[in-house]
Structure 1
C-alpha cells in the first residue's frame, strides 16, 4: 500500500483555511512528510534537512521565504529556527490562509519557537504512528498481541518489514541519533540501559531516584533523558488526576511509549508468542489502549486530557479521560475472561465522582452495561 489515509486530514484542511501556517509535529517516520504532500500535492516542497536548503534558509532567511511562498511545505523546520521570526513578518504582510505547512519531529524545539514567534498565526497538529482504525484493512481480526508487537509505523506496513528488523534499526537510527544531537550524550551505553529500564517499567510510577541509583547517574540527568524522549515522541508521562478529590493521592506520573512496537523491541519481544508469559503483558495492553484513545483525540485536532488516579490506599483507576467537561474512568485489562473484580476500582472511584462515566476495556467478548459500567472489547475503543 503506497499511502494510508490519515484521519487527521479533515481537521488539517479546516485549519489551513483559517490560519496562514499549519505545523505538524510527531515522531520521526510517523508519516508527516507523506501526509503533508498528499494533503497539498500542489505545494512546493522544501526539505530543510538537506544541507543546501538549510544553508540557504540560515544565511538569508528573508530571500529564502520570498522565493518560497504562496503554498509551501517546509519539512523539518526545527533545524532552521531563524525562519520563525521572518515567517511572522511575511505572513502578517501577505495574510494568506494556508500559505505554509511546517513539519518537525522534535516537539520542544518546534513548539518553543512557535510560542515565541508565531502565536496566533499557526495551528498545530500532532501526527502519531498509524491507529488501529487507520490500519483496519491490514490488521483485521488480529490479536492484540500481534498489534502491540507490530506497532504503527507506516513504513513497516508499507514494505511488510518484520518488527525484529524494523524497530532495532529505528531505535539506532533515530532515537539514539536525536539524543546525541540534543544532549550530546557521551555514554550511549548508559542511555541504552536507561531506555530498556524505562520500557520494563511502562505503566508504573516514574521514580527518578530508582533510575539514578541503578544507572549511577544524578536525577537531573534522568529527568533530562526522559524529557528528550518526550520531545522526540518516544515516551510520555501520564499525570495523576487530583482535582476536586481526596488530597491524599499519588501525584507522581506514570510513563508510557508513543509506539508499542518500539516498546516491544526494547523489551526483547519479537513475536506475539513471546507475550504469553511475559511480565509486561498487562502493561503492553494498557499502553495500546491509552495510545488508541490518544490518537483518536489527536486525529480530531483535540489536546488529549488523559490521567490516571491512585489514592493513599493504593486503589487505582488505569485511565481518566476528561472531555467536554465530563470525566470517564477507564479500567484496562488484558484478560479475555471477565471477572467482577475488574469493576472494583471503577465503583470505588465513582464514590468520589458520582457524575463520571465508567468503562472497562478488555480482551474478551462481552459488550454490555453492568452496574452502570460499559464493558467492551478493545476493538471498540
Structure 2
C-alpha cells in the first residue's frame, strides 16, 4: 500500500509531487495503480492505492534487490499483471489490517483472489467471504489444483500458470 510520506522522504520529492508523479508513471506504463475495493466506508481503508510494476526489472533496480526473499512480492506482482490484462483489479483491506490481495469486479459478481505459494485459505479470505458472500474465490498458488467450499463460496486453488 502506498505511503506517500515514505515515498516523499526516500525520493527527495515533496509530498504533493509524489502524488502528481504516480499517475504519470501509470500513464507511461511504468506502474499500475490498484485502488481499494470497499463498500463499508467505516471499516475499510479506502484512501491509498497499491502499486505494481509493469516491468519487474525496473522494480528490482529501484529497490536494489534481486534476492529470493522478494519472491512473494514479485509473484503477487506477476499475478496482478496477468489479471490486469482482462479485469478491473482492486484490493481489499480493513482498518483491522484484514487484507485480500485482489478483488475482481465483473458485471454480476465479486471474486476475491489470494496469491500464496500454497493453497491456504487465510482468515482474511474467510472474512471477505463472510462479509460479501461471493459465489466463488481463487487461491493462486504454486502447488495445487483444488476445490472446496467456505460459507457457501466455491474456492478454487489454481496454479499460477493457469491465470
TM-score of the superposed pair, with normalisation by structure 2: 0.86
Match of 1:288 in 2: 78
Alignment of 1:103-142 (within 5 A): none
Match of 2:38 in 1: 242
Q: Partners in 2 of 1:307 and 1:229 — Cα distance? A: 18
Q: Encode CA deviations 1:247-298: one digit per residue, 9 max, x unaligned.
A: 32111111111222332343445xxxx543x3x2211100100101112x1x
Is the partner of 2:13 in helix, strand or coil? Answer: coil
Match of 2:145 in 1: 367
Match of 1:264 in 2: 60
| Alpha-carbon distance change, 369 to 343 in structure 1, aligned in 2, over 3 angstroms | farther
Match of 1:344 in 2: 123
User: Among 88, 92, 98, which residue is 1:315 paired with?
Assistant: 98
Match of 2:159 in 1: 377
Query: When you count strand as a share of all residues, which structure comes out higher?
Result: 2
Q: Partners in 2 of 1:260 and 1:213 — Cα distance? A: 23
| Alpha-carbon distance change, 213 to 268 in structure 1, aligned in 2, over 3 angstroms | closer
Q: Partners in 2 of 1:294 and 1:218 — Cα distance? A: 30
| Alpha-carbon distance change, 265 to 218 in structure 1, aligned in 2, over 3 angstroms | closer
- What is the alpha-carbon root mean square deviation over aligned residues? 1.9
Q: Partners in 2 of 1:281 and 1:357 — Cα distance? A: 27
Contact 2:2-2:50 at 8 Å conserved across structures: yes
Deviation at 1:246, TM superposition (A): 5.6
| Alpha-carbon distance change, 214 to 258 in structure 1, aligned in 2, over 3 angstroms | closer
Q: Which protein shows a greater Rg?
A: 1
Match of 1:194 in 2: none
Alignment of 1:61-140 (within 5 A): none
Aligned residues: 158
Contact 1:329-1:356 at 8 Å conserved across structures: no
Gap runs ≥5 in structure 2: none
TM-score of the superposed pair, with normalisation by structure 1: 0.39
Q: Partners in 2 of 1:213 and 1:261 — Cα distance? A: 23
Contact 1:343-1:360 at 8 Å conserved across structures: no
Is the partner of 2:111 in helix, strand or coil? Answer: strand
Gap runs ≥5 in structure 1: 1-204, 298-303
Query: When you count helix as a share of all residues, which structure comes out higher?
Result: 1
Deviation at 1:320, TM superposition (A): 0.1
Is the partner of 1:228 in helix, strand or coil? Answer: helix
